[in-house]
Amino acid sequence: MRTLWLNKGEDRRLRAGHLWIFGNEVDGKRSPLSAFSPGEAVTVRDARGGIIGSAFVNPHSLICARLYSRTPDTELDAGLLRQRLQAALALRTRLFDQPYYRLCHGEGDLLPGLIIDRFGDHLTLQLGTAGMEARREAIAACLDELLHPASLLWDNDLASRSLEGLSRENVLSGPVPRRLELPENGCTFTAPLLDGQKTGWFYDQRVNRLEAARYAQGADVLDIFCYAGGFGATAAARGARSVTFLDASPQAVELAGANAARNAPQLTGDAIRTLCGDAFDLLRELHDSGRRFSLICLDPPAFIKRRKDAAQGLAAYRKINALALQLLSPGGVIASCSCSHHLPADELRHCLGQAAARRKTALRLLFAGGQGPDHPVHAAMPETAYLKCFIAQRAD
């Protein structure tokens, strides 16, 4: 394996446990990035020759190398892939009694750029780096050995793949179902595997959905950016009086309504409502019509996808939280989430506090959560702790 040399002083963050190496941290004279092939394995050394570890390289990406081992001259071959995936599987088997979870979470499982969601016999994979793309066949072979899946969906429609110079066309292996059923928190959901958002289901919110549902008994629930209805349908199953789903996607609200009806057959007629359109506009219309809700679940898409969009994205979070809080009845509960890792948790909490102050009311925080344990956070990489969830009660 060839050597990737670092500039003086650029090893400190890596020795503290971080896995990413940026282009401006590389000594371009001793190891010009243009000399490496995308996905090539290298040994990383500091300016004095000290060992940092082994990584795969992509000279075309801002994150030009990602460490996967702390030992030199270590290939990310079938043996190491199998070892890491076995460890990831062992953790999930301890956490869940059914095979429905995120099986591999990139850096959190020491496999940078590899995401695998498991839906029983079906797996959805995202390869976000050239290093993982170069090892696609080895990954498939390891999964076949460990799990014997019925199908693999290589979900390549990722912005990160464009940054890595990779194709974004999806690839199917085996009979990938368009929709499938999955269990979660005592409910059964239908999820869109082939044409859904991300990998088809947001397993990361499992714990937060159950926590929010603690306040569902007798509540009128509003599920904003509902997707397939994870929050609202769980609340319906826990005794909500009514549930309203809101999303811009017709497919999402159709699935959400069906999932609620399936898990809460006691809700009939107008007790389950769906609204399709722009969330900001619909929330204003609901307010103007006098609608109020005693449990609101707000799970927007990432308004801040890049650091340079932070100011604009923060304004969107402030606005959507303010609009939602206008609809919360006295004593009601709101679950407010963000999946933007560029938005610190304190900023989201501040958005809620500001919105309450403008309405001359107060919120008492009941719960602060993040992503579920099948989405492990790398302790040395704050970037991997992306999901925030605050549950608060209107205190007046």
| Ranges of CATH 3.40.50.150 domains, the chain | 179-394
Q: Is the pLDDT of residue 152 over 90?
A: yes
Which ranges in 52-114 belong to alpha helices (H)? 78-95
**Residues with Cβ within 8 Å of residue 11, at least 6 apart in sequence:** 46, 47, 50, 52
Helix (H) or strand (E) holding 57: strand 51-57
Q: How far apart are CA 375 and CA 377, in angstroms?
A: 7
In the chain, the DSSP E strands lie at 2-5, 20-22, 41-45, 51-57, 63-69, 100-105, 114-119, 122-127, 151-154, 171-173, 179-184, 187-192, 220-224, 242-247, 272-276, 293-298, 328-338, 363-369, 388-394
DSSP 8-class letter at 376: P
Phi, psi (deg, nearest 5) at residue 281? -70, -45
Domain 78-173 has CATH 3.30.750.80: yes
Bridge-based pairing state of the strands 20-22 and 41-45: unpaired
Query: Using one digit for the tens of pLDDT, what is the confidence trace for 21-72?
Result: 999 999 999 999 999 999 999 999 999 999 999 999 999 999 999 999 999 9
6 and 44 in contact (C-beta within 8 Å)? Answer: yes
| Ranges of CATH 3.30.750.80 domains, the chain | 78-173
Q: How far apart are CA 240 and CA 293, in angstroms?
A: 11
Please tell me the class of the 2-69 domain. Answer: mainly beta
What is the four-CA torsion angle of 236, 222, 203, 349, rounded to 10 degrees?
A: -130
Residue 290 has a pLDDT of: 96
Report, as an integer, the average pLDDT of 235-255: 97
Q: Is the pLDDT of residue 196 over 90?
A: no
Residue 55 has a pLDDT of: 98
Residue 19 has a pLDDT of: 98
Phi, psi (deg, nearest 5) at residue 348? -65, -45
Helix (H) or strand (E) holding 133: helix 130-133
Q: Is the pLDDT of residue 160 over 90?
A: no
Residue 198 has a pLDDT of: 86
Largest CA distance in the chain: 72
Coil vs helix vs strand at 38: coil
Q: Is the pLDDT of residue 134 over 90?
A: yes
Q: Quick one: 179-394 is in which CATH superfamily?
A: Vaccinia Virus protein VP39 (3.40.50.150)
Confidence of residue 195 (pLDDT cuts 50, 70, 90): confident
The catalytic residues are: 339
Residue 308 has a pLDDT of: 84
Sign of CA dihedral 189, 190, 193, 195: negative
HSE-CB of 215 using CA atoms within 13 angstroms: 24
| Ranges of CATH 2.30.130.10 domains, the chain | 2-69
Confidence of residue 163 (pLDDT cuts 50, 70, 90): confident
Bridge-based pairing state of the strands 179-184 and 242-247: unpaired
Mean pLDDT of all residues in the chain?
A: 96
Q: How far apart are CA 143 and CA 124, in angstroms?
A: 11
Q: What percent of the chain has pLDDT over 90?
A: 93
Q: How far apart are CA 269 and CA 233, in angstroms?
A: 15
**Residues with Cβ within 8 Å of residue 240, at least 6 apart in sequence:** 216, 217, 218, 219, 220, 221, 232, 264, 267, 295
Residue 159 has a pLDDT of: 85
Residue 143 has a pLDDT of: 98
Q: Is the pLDDT of residue 264 over 90?
A: yes
Q: Is the pLDDT of residue 13 over 90?
A: yes
178 and 194 in contact (C-beta within 8 Å)? Answer: yes
Report, as an integer, the average pLDDT of 242-268: 97
